[in-house]
C-alpha cells in the first residue's frame, strides 16, 4: 500500500487532561522551572471549575476528523500539542512510522506572533527529522474563518432582546502577549484588528465594538492591554447592561474561554448588573473546516505535492 502524498498536522497549545496532570503540565510550560505551590493550586481549582480537565485535545481531534472527512482523499490528519501529550514530537514520530514524508502544518491559532506561532515552528523543526514540512504561518484573513466568526457573532446577538440587539457592545478578545513584544513590531495586534474589521463587515450591524486582551501571563513584566475584564467594567460604568464577548483569537474550547470568560468575567459582570454573553467557540464549525481544507490543499499545491 503506497503512502499518501502528504499529511496535515494540526497543532495546539496543549492542556492537562486531569487535575493530577496540572502540575507536570505547568512544569512543561515553564521549561522545567518549578511552579509556586499557590499557583499550582489556583490553576487546579480553575480546571476543577470547568469539569476537572480541558477539552482542548478532544476539540482539536474533532477538528482533525472533520478536516479528514472534508478533504475526502485519504489524506491523514494528525494532532500534536506544544506543551502536553500528544506532543508535536510524538505526532511526527507517528507520521514517520506510517511512512509519511511530507506534512502541511497548521497551528490552530490564526494570528502570527514569533512568540506563539514561531514557537510552534521551532518545535516542528526540532522534531520533524526527514519529513519535509510546509508550515502555514497565519490565516487571520481567510474568508471562511471570518465567515465562521461572523456566524457565531450573529447567533450570539440573537440571544439578546430584539429591541437592544443592534446596540449591544461587542468586545473581541485574544490572549495577551508581553508589551515588549508588540512594541518591537510584532504583527499580532494588527492581524487581530484586521480580523475584527473583516468580521464586522460581514455582521453588517451598527453594534459598537472594540478589541481587548485577556488571560495575561502571571509574571512581573507588563502585558498588553486593555484587559477585557477592565473593559467590561468601563462599559458597565457607562451604563451598558448587555455585553457580548467574542474570543476571536481562540478557535476551540479551553481554559481561557471556559473559565476566564464564562466564569470570571461573567461573575464580575453579574456583580455590576451586566448581562454578559459569549460567542460559541468555533470548534468544528463547517466554515472553519473549509478554511483548514483550503489552507492544506493550496499549500500542498504550491509545494507540488498535489495537482
Domain count, the chain: 2
Q: Please indicate, yes or no, whether residues 103 and 186 belong to a single structural domain of this protein.
A: no
Q: Please indicate, yes or no, whether residues 109 and 213 belong to a single structural domain of this protein.
A: no
Q: Is residue 2 part of a domain?
A: no
Q: Please indicate, yes or no, whether residues 216 and 133 belong to a single structural domain of this protein.
A: no
Q: Is residue 262 part of a domain?
A: yes
Q: Is residue 274 part of a domain?
A: yes
Q: Please indicate, yes or no, whether residues 85 and 132 belong to a single structural domain of this protein.
A: yes
pTM of the predicted protein model: 0.96
Q: Please indicate, yes or no, whether residues 81 and 56 belong to a single structural domain of this protein.
A: yes
Q: Please indicate, yes or no, whether residues 158 and 72 belong to a single structural domain of this protein.
A: no
Q: Is residue 291 part of a domain?
A: yes
> In this structure, how many other beta carbons lie within 10 angstroms of the beta carbon of residue 122?
12
Domain with residue 93: its CATH number is 3.40.50.1400
* Domain carrying residue 161: 143-278
Q: Please indicate, yes or no, whether residues 182 and 238 belong to a single structural domain of this protein.
A: yes
Q: Is residue 307 part of a domain?
A: no
Gyration radius (Cα) of the chain, Å: 20
Q: Please indicate, yes or no, whether residues 124 and 158 belong to a single structural domain of this protein.
A: no
Q: Is residue 1 part of a domain?
A: no
275, 269 in Cβ contact below 8 A?
Answer: yes
Q: Please indicate, yes or no, whether residues 115 and 180 belong to a single structural domain of this protein.
A: no
Q: Please indicate, yes or no, whether residues 175 and 199 belong to a single structural domain of this protein.
A: yes
pLDDT in tens, the chain (307 residues): 567 899 999 999 999 999 999 999 999 999 999 999 999 999 999 999 999 999 999 999 999 999 999 999 999 999 999 999 999 999 999 999 999 999 999 999 999 999 999 999 999 999 999 999 999 999 999 999 999 999 999 999 999 999 999 999 999 999 999 998 877 889 999 999 999 999 999 999 999 999 999 999 877 789 999 999 999 999 999 999 999 999 999 999 999 999 999 999 999 999 999 999 999 999 999 999 999 999 999 999 999 999 8
Amino acid at each position: 500500500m503506497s503512502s499518501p502524498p502528504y499529511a496535515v498536522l494540526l497543532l495546539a497549545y496543549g492542556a492537562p487532561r486531569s487535575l493530577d496532570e496540572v502540575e507536570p503540565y505547568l512544569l512543561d510550560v515553564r521549561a522545567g522551572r518549578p511552579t509556586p505551590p499557590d499557583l499550582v493550586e489556583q490553576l487546579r481549582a480553575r480546571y476543577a471549575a470547568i469539569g476537572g480537565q480541558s477539552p482542548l485535545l478532544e476539540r482539536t481531534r474533532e477538528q482533525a476528523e472533520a478536516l479528514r472527512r472534508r478533504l475526502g482523499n485519504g489524506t491523514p490528519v494528525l494532532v500534536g500539542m506544544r506543551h502536553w501529550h500528544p506532543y508535536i514530537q510524538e505526532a511526527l514520530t507517528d507520521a514517520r512510522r506510517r511512512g509519511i514524508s511530507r506534512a502541511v502544518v497548521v497551528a490552530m491559532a490564526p494570528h502570527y506572533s514569533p512568540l506563539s506561532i514561531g514557537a510552534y515552528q521551532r518545535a516542528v523543526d526540532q522534531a520533524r527529522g526527514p519529513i519535509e514540512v510546509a508550515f502555514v504561518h497565519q490565516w487571520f484573513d481567510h474568508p471562511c474563518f471570518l465567515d465562521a466568526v461572523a456566524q457565531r457573532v450573529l447567533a450570539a446577538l440573537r440571544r439578546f432582546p430584539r429591541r437592544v440587539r443592534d446596540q449591544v457592545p461587542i468586545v473581541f478578545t485574544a490572549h495577551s502577549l508581553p508589551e515588549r513584544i508588540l512594541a518591537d513590531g510584532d504583527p499580532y495586534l494588527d492581524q487581530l484588528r484586521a480580523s475584527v474589521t473583516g468580521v464586522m463587515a460581514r455582521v453588517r450591524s451598527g453594534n459598537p465594538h472594540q478589541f481587548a486582551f485577556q488571560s495575561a501571563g502571571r509574571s512581573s513584566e507588563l502585558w498588553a492591554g486593555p484587559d477585557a475584564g477592565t473593559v467590561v467594567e468601563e462599559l458597565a460604568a457607562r451604563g451598558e447592561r448587555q455585553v457580548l464577548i467574542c474570543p476571536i483569537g481562540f478557535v476551540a474550547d479551553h481554559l481561557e474561554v471556559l473559565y476566564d470568560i464564562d466564569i470570571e468575567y461573567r461573575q464580575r459582570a453579574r456583580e455590576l448588573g451586566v448581562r454578559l454573553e459569549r460567542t460559541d467557540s468555533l470548534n468544528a464549525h463547517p466554515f472553519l473546516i473549509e478554511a483548514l481544507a483550503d489552507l492544506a490543499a493550496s499549500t500542498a499545491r504550491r509545494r507540488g505535492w498535489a495537482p
